[in-house]
Structure 1
């Protein structure tokens, strides 16, 4: 039995990215993620507005795990989940 190697997770250190480019880079990385994979995000502040944008654009399609919560550094693991159904599921649709 052969086990496929898991690719190393990307690390995005937003402290090294121009502020106006940060969210676009993070969103591009997330959109390119295969379901079940993740990336790490490093920040010098709590990224609450970013999380709100994720919740608005990809509700139920990501996990947001805080691995370190300041005060000098926030470290998150953001993973992609399968897209949910658009209805309640009671009709089988």
Structure 2
């Protein structure tokens, strides 16, 4: 897991605490930022902030700050990654 210097404020994927700009943090593209302490760096990803409204695969509208984000990799040449949002029921929250 690469350790970076945060370029902007963020949320720890494990504890939900704030990671401030300029602090060291562990980072994985599919999971996000985490504090470098072992409890956070090695813990399960529970928090990934959802700052935009979206629609779950079941059709439910998910407002900003609710639900769970999931990284989806599109298959095929020239296709990339995108974030999908799951409602609380589909995410098991």
Whether these two folds match at TM > 0.5 is no
Identify, as 1 or 2, the structure richer in strand. Answer: 2
The bucket for the TM-score relative to the shorter chain is under 0.3
Identify, as 1 or 2, the structure richer in helix. Answer: 1
